[in-house]
Amino acid sequence: MGEPPQEVFASFDPSPLASASLGQAHAATLADGTEVVVKVRRPGVVEQVELDLEIIANLAAQAARHWDAAADYDVSGIAEELAQTLRAELDYLAEARNAERFRASFSADPGIHVPRVYWDCTTSRVLTLERIRGIKISDLAGLDAAGIDRRALAARCADAVAKMVFEDCFFHADPHPGNLFVEPDPVLPGGRIGLIDFGMVGTVDPQLRDHLSGLLIAVSRRDPRAAAQALSDASTGRRRPDLGRLSEDLAPVMRLYAEQPLSEVPLGAFVRELLVVVRRYRLQLPRELALLLRMLVMVESLAVTLDPGFQFGAVIGPWAESLALERFAPLAVLRRLGQAGTELVDAAGRLPRQLRALEDALERGGAQISLRPGELDELFSHLDAAAQRLAVATLAAASIRSLGEILASQPQGRPRALRTALTGAGIVASASLAAYLAWTGRRRT
């Protein structure tokens, strides 16, 4: 900030309240006595992170060139998403804007406390927030001692998350117990939730809403085919799955909860079963959807810890049903039709240029085909195997012809025993070569 902390703050505790790899937080007070928490980025951490990210990007590019599975999972894209996430967490101005957005969203809710940002003491390297004092939400004994209704607290957590996802389309992506505090309040049985750390957030854009609603409709109908289509549509990977096989693998997951209403389905267990199938087919979920599923599982786990009888589906069920119905609303249908029409017009506009480019390529001597190194290795392997089989076939043909000539000829003076031995050797050689050809041909198919 260009000045010693003693000149910016009335007091500043040099011992950190908490430390992490990117920064640490210190308690301080402003000139008017307001208690704040000052989050300070570690010196040199940006350069270190950029170096690490460059190494990761290079490793991902090497893996994608030499390993098909890495290319299918788009590890280079994953590395880029990691880089974007880390760079966003390094910029405390972006985190401050996220905090302001959450504070505005929950300004009318007395059960959620989002700290105020003090912009005069905030830069890209320093973030100053109102200090929140409370009981750590995972401290069950402390909550009970303070008279907190843990059932009401679990419901409040779930309601806040549902509002973020389905109403605000902007959610806190890292709600672990260290980022949630409970402030006892005589009016609120479950206390007031204090929310901190806004470096990792997610957004629910119209495309993600479509994917999410399609998946929710499939789950509510227990329709594995529709679920397979929804996951395939959501996947950003280059490989398209076999929908028939994917449906067969999703069917047991659907049957596992077939007897339970949607409101009673354990979200965490269901998502874990679903992700097993997603990994098996190398589907790559969009970053925002992956963050969303992770966040929902974290919140459900926390809520069940607070209230063992908690059912997340009962809270988000009405929101999910509303989202599913929204998919078939006239305006939504018209929007999708308009988007499809725009894409069709764009494709039609590109088609003449692409045809001309193909015509030019053919006139210049033909089109070129690009192959990855891994694909070239596979091609060379096929050519090598074909050459080997051709050589063996030639030897086999020569052996059979020589054997025929031996049997047909009756030269004078050749011992019968020698002729018998040559015939036997020829039969064995021909049979061995024919067997090899048959075995390699079967293996190739």
User: How many CA atoms lie less than 13 Å away from 45 in the CB half-sphere?
Assistant: 16
Pairing of strands 192-195, 112-113: parallel
286-289 contacts at long range (C-beta below 8 A, 24 or more positions apart): 286/208, 286/211, 286/234, 286/236, 287/81, 287/85, 287/202, 288/202, 288/203, 288/204, 288/205, 288/208, 289/208, 289/211, 289/212, 289/234
Report residue 58 CA to chain centroid gap: 20
Largest CA distance in the chain: 125
Contact of 216 with 320, CB cutoff 8 Å: yes
Residue 333: what residue type?
A: V
How many whole angstroms separate alpha carbon 396 and alpha carbon 399?
5
Q: Is 174 labeled as catalytic in the residue annotation?
A: yes
Q: Which residues contact 230 (CB under 8 A, 6 or more apart)?
A: 211, 214, 215, 217, 218
Q: What are the backbone dihedrals phi and psi of residue 365, each rounded to the nearest 5 degrees, phi first?
A: 125, 10
- Among residues 72, 139, 174, 249, the one annotated as catalytic is 174
Residue 109, φ and ψ in degrees, nearest 5: -105, 110
Phi, psi of 203 (to 5 degrees): -125, 150
Known catalytic residues?
174
